[in-house]
Amino acid sequence: MGERVSDDIAVAAPPEQVWNVIDDLEAYTQWAEGVEDVDVQERDDDGRPTRARFKVDAKVLQVSYTLTYTYGDDNVTWELVEGEQINQLDGEYEVTPDGDGSHVRYTLEVDFDIPLPGFLKKRGAKRILDTGLKGLKKRAESLA
């Protein structure tokens, strides 16, 4: 079982702008630390990605994985389909209005395919979470 982490952040951009950043997976290479390549393999009728392959430089190793996405009214969830060096990468972004901006909650459950002590797995999951939230905030606010 993986390490589950969650955090939230206020973003000074409207929810629509935050969703534009979240849904533009190909642009993750511009703002998500370590993401080197994203190949969107499938989209839904609204043009949102439903399956994508990522290549990530995780500093100590290169990681490739494929995620599937499911969209709700105020959230998107994803699940790992296949991965190298990783056997769980499931998560959720929940975006709700907050005054003139947005409130974003990011939940992630990660498990690596290499033997690591629990505290290192937790630290790795927290790093992914922190980087993702801060990068999303910066990108959405820069485009608002």
Q: What percent of the chain has pLDDT over 90?
A: 71
Beta bridge partners of 104: 9, 95
Geometric angle at alpha carbon 31, from 25 and 37, rounded to 5°: 50
pTM over 0.75: yes
Integer Cα distance of 76 and 85 in angstroms: 24
Q: Which two tokens stand for residue 20?
A: 């534009």
Nearest to 68 by CA among 59, 55, 77: 77
Q: Which two tokens stand for residue 46?
A: 């609204």
Question: Mind listing the pLDDT tens digit for each residue in 69-88?
Answer: 999 999 999 999 999 888 89
- Is residue 1 predicted with pLDDT exceeding 70? no
Q: What percent of the chain has pLDDT over 70?
A: 94
